[in-house]
Structure 1
Amino acid sequence: TILVLPLLTCSARLPVYSMVAALLFSGSPLYAALVFVGSYVLGIAAALFSAFCLKMTILKGEAVPLVIELPPYRLPNLRNALTTVIERAGVFLRQAGSVILLISVILWGLATYPSLPENEMPEELAAQLEAVRDGQVAELPDEVQQEILQAKLSHSFAGRLGHLFEPVFEPLGFDWRINVGVISSFAAREVVISTLAIMYGIGEDGGEDEETLVETLRRQKRPDGTPTFSVKTGLSLLVFFVLAMQCLPTQAVTKRETGSWKWAVLQLVYMTILAYVGALIVYQGCTAFGLG
């Protein structure tokens, strides 16, 4: 049970499901709902399939009987139930919030440094900056500002990490910026939202008419002009997050309950392979059939 339980949908996955559903099918609530529900179903199916495979291989043998004494069932008291919910919600927000904040700060640093010297910028962008300094141009166009931002991000430690993993994740349809989000989410999958916001420069200008993350992602283009977040890329990313083990606290609990890191490592490895293969099948299958 402990090896397959993380495949079932938890609250940390919901922001990713919501983001992908809104990104792909914002104009079709029905399809967005199907994607959302389908993610739950996929997690359940993957858990059942994994349990069967584990039972037939490394966990082969007779099942160990479980004896447990259950307390008598009573109708819950509404006041006690609300108090418990508020307490547990507070604990979750403090623990998850602190992790997300810490990782976001680290990622901000990795995405900011080292800074890109102007003499290493593409000549076109350097010339545009020079024109602004000389007063020939009052303000850079939004497109040029975005290009400068992406050049700085690509030069940063986070950008270099994303480029390093490009050969690994390219078959899944991920670009270097998505790679950074995927890699960072292995600590806690919730941080993928804040990571993508950092990698795509959300909040850099602080304007009131600032675009939302979904709107920004929707308008991103690859070098060949195709959308970065096409339907097949979005579905591939969704499948990866449904199946991958991206939660350090869960790994710690697995080690504590089993008394060995062996099972925690096995859990991480098999779920990562399952997620990669699942996302690969979805992306390459959509490509083969001309979908998205």
Structure 2
Amino acid sequence: MNGDLKIALVGNPNTGKSTLFNVLTGLNQKVGNFPGVTVDKKTGSCRLPNGKNALVIDLPGTYSLYPKSKDEIIVFEVLADQRNPVHPDLVVMVADASNLKRNLLLYTQVADMKIPVIIALNMMDQARRSGISIDVDALSAKLGVQVVPISARQGENVAALKEAISYASAIPVQNDTIEVEAIAPDLICKIQDELQIDKPYTALQFAHQHENLRFLTPAQSDRIEEIEQEFSFHSQKAQASETIARYQYINELLSDTMRVLPSAEKEIPSNRIDKVITHRVWGFIIFFVLLFLIFQSIFAWSEYPMSLIEELFVWITAMAHRILPAGILTDLLTDGILAGLSGVLVFIPQIAILFGFISILEDTGYMARITFMMDKIMRRVGLNGKSVVPMIGGLACAVPSIMSTRNIENWKDRMITIMVTPLVSCSARLPIYTVLISLVVPDRKVAGFLNMQGLALMGMYVISIVAAVLVAWVMKYLFKAREKGYFIMELPVYRMPRWDNVLLTMYEKVKTFVFEAGKVIIAISVILWVLATYGPPSKRAEVERRYQSPEYIARFSSPSELELHHSSELLETSYAGMIGKAIEPAIKPLGYDWKIGIALITSFAAREVFVGTMATIYSVSNDEQHVSSVTTKMKEARHPDTGLPVFTVASAFSLMIFYAFAMQCMSTLAVVYRETKSWKWPLIQFAYMTGLAYLASLLVYNLLK
């Protein structure tokens, strides 16, 4: 990749920048972090018409190079620091053609940094429908750069953009926008001389941002501070005068190149739809109806493919037992690896459907409306309106959601959001909910069309959201801060979802689940198989002697009952059994046995491990001649003392509540530490969530048993 042309996509939020990134790179994408920070870095490769490869970097959306959040600082750092590994050779400025005036502010700033620029004038179809006419050739001539009109969603003119990128100038050719040196001539000149900067606007930005720029040494930052004091530099006044000058330039530019037809003055359809969608009553009713339909669909649509996957693994396991020679390696393959693998792959349909719906809500512009509607509720519980974004994102995964709290400027609001976001039920909890609901909730219709299992699943998600809001309300009184938060958001126009993008999102999320969570699940399944297969030799020898005694064998009515008790006692005397037995007194009041205790411990690495653990434990304790799916094994599980089912309505819902509230995700704890720069907050978070989980599940078990 080192010899590739590096292209940075820069633009305001909601300009279709990420859509263009997906169109250019397709499946050739990677998601990582920018060096030294937890800001997402999306990169991908693109083949250009001239045969060259391009490395495309999707930078965070920003309205200006003056940052309001940690994400936005990254944009200037990448553009200004030539030693940055993703410093671009070319910037593709993605601008919304239907809102060009606002978008051109960022363009003028980037252009003045003297990096080669191309403008991708996106959403041309939307601009035409809005009655906006842009003279692209005149705009290009006045700016001195290539301007390519495109519609990334429709794939319109993307080939022409690739052609423009292929033959773009390697040196900046854009015209000057404003007289930068006039803003603070002496200061800019001195910073340029002392730091050896050849671009005046970069020097001015150093004066504004030096305290936040990680690539500057402490000595350089201190020297810039001294220069500021020497020339009495006032950052806010300088920024205000610069912005005024830029908008004067933009107004003159657009008066010559853009025309708004009278039809554009009419109310746009999105505003008419919003009168219903964001209504203070109907808006919430529509939102909850949509949630209900989503969770009904997750169960209804995934039932058949999940059954096929379960049957496939039952068949593969039976075939492996039949074909392979009996022994440790065969047991490891069937009861360890295959059991763990089935615990991963069986939930692919539900993960895909959940993320498909989330992608559709984002693509249509509805997710932004949910954020807008929830703002007032969030403020009542002491949160910022921006807290809604990470909390909704928590439905997918808490890790990127906690990272997205960097957009919340207020410390108190940000900390409360970080502390409560893991309470929102993420996709990792979905396999647990699914398997437990299928055990104890009948697959029946209520009122002819409401699936009881879908209702139970929706109930678990609603409980998690209500819990997050209530905990936030309590924390409002525990956290002390004087800052006032604010919420500014632009609502995008409604659009039809791009089905190729929805499918791409589903593919990427499923791939992440299988390869990231799957690696952990299978690794733990193998370790668990070893712990469940072996134990202290003396104890296991004692069990074997007892079960070889004719007097003891005579106690059982059938060979199958004898085998069930034999394998159960062997598991109980294994190392895994000893661990489960050690914590059983603490979890017995919740309705759990020692086998569930093993799952609670192993799933501290990741919640998804619960199902794989159950599959491995019940595979180890099951008769080889009766291979069945993990759901069937759990349904047939009985307490050896009482003969009653292990998974009753009370114990299953108690377990779901425990997993809904408990902090069982090492990745989340790690990212909270990275975001807060202290172990204090993740430890507090772990303690309060575990305590809440225990008390809530204890209450549920005693109410339902």
TM bracket, shorter-chain basis: 0.7 to 0.9
Check if 1:210 corresponds to 2:631: no
C-alpha distance after superposition, 1:206-263 (max 9, x if no partner): 55x6332222222222212322112111111111011111111111111111111211
Could you say if the C-alpha distance between residues 119 and 156 of structure 1 is closer, same or farther in structure 2, counting changes exceeding 3 Å? closer
Matches within 5 A, 1:103-252: 103-114=524-535, 119-121=541-543, 125-127=547-549, 141-201=559-619, 205-207=623-625, 210-222=627-639, 223-252=641-670
Partner secondary structure for residue 165 of structure 1: helix
Could you say if the C-alpha distance between residues 106 and 14 of structure 1 is closer, same or farther in structure 2, counting changes exceeding 3 Å? same
Matching residue of 2:210: none
Could you say if the C-alpha distance between residues 72 and 219 of structure 1 is closer, same or farther in structure 2, counting changes exceeding 3 Å? closer
Distance 1:248 1:189 in 2: 9
Partner secondary structure for residue 4 of structure 1: helix
1:4 to 398, 417, 420: 420
Check if 1:60 corresponds to 2:476: no
Could you say if the C-alpha distance between residues 185 and 128 of structure 1 is closer, same or farther in structure 2, counting changes exceeding 3 Å? farther
2:517 to 85, 96, 101: 96
Distance 1:235 1:35 in 2: 10
Structure 2 counterpart of 1:229, which letter? F
Unpaired stretches in structure 1, ≥5 consecutive residues: 132-139, 287-291
TM normalised by structure 2 equals 0.37
1:166 to partner: Cα distance: 1.1
User: Retained in 1: the 8 A contact 2:564–2:622?
Assistant: no
C-alpha distance after superposition, 1:75-104 (max 9, x if no partner): 565445543443343233211111111111
Partner secondary structure for residue 49 of structure 1: helix
Could you say if the C-alpha distance between residues 261 and 159 of structure 1 is closer, same or farther in structure 2, counting changes exceeding 3 Å? same
1:33 to partner: Cα distance: 2.6
1:66 to partner: Cα distance: 5.6
Distance 2:618 2:518 in 1: 22
Distance 1:77 1:34 in 2: 29
Matches within 5 A, 1:257-276: 257-276=675-694
Distance 1:151 1:174 in 2: 18
Distance 1:275 1:171 in 2: 13
Distance 1:244 1:279 in 2: 10
1:160 to partner: Cα distance: 0.4
C-alpha distance after superposition, 1:167-187 (max 9, x if no partner): 110110101111111111111
Distance 2:580 2:444 in 1: 32
Identity percentage of aligned residues: 38
Distance 1:24 1:91 in 2: 30
Q: Does 1 or 2 have the higher relative contact order (CA < 8 Å, sep 6+)?
A: 1
Structure 2 counterpart of 1:249, which letter? S
Distance 1:224 1:206 in 2: 24
User: Retained in 2: the 8 A contact 1:8–1:47?
Assistant: yes
Could you say if the C-alpha distance between residues 110 and 119 of structure 1 is closer, same or farther in structure 2, counting changes exceeding 3 Å? closer
Cα RMSD between the aligned structures?
Answer: 2.8
Matching residue of 2:84: none
Unpaired stretches in structure 2, ≥5 consecutive residues: 1-416, 446-450
Structure 1 counterpart of 2:522, which letter? L
1:24 to partner: Cα distance: 0.5
Distance 1:267 1:35 in 2: 27
Task: Give the count of matched residue pairs.
Answer: 277
Distance 1:194 1:62 in 2: 47
Q: Which moved more, 1:78-87 or 1:150-159?
A: 78-87
Distance 2:661 2:460 in 1: 10
Distance 1:144 1:45 in 2: 48
Structure 1 counterpart of 2:481, which letter? G
Could you say if the C-alpha distance between residues 129 and 195 of structure 1 is closer, same or farther in structure 2, counting changes exceeding 3 Å? farther
User: Retained in 1: the 8 A contact 2:532–2:620?
Assistant: no
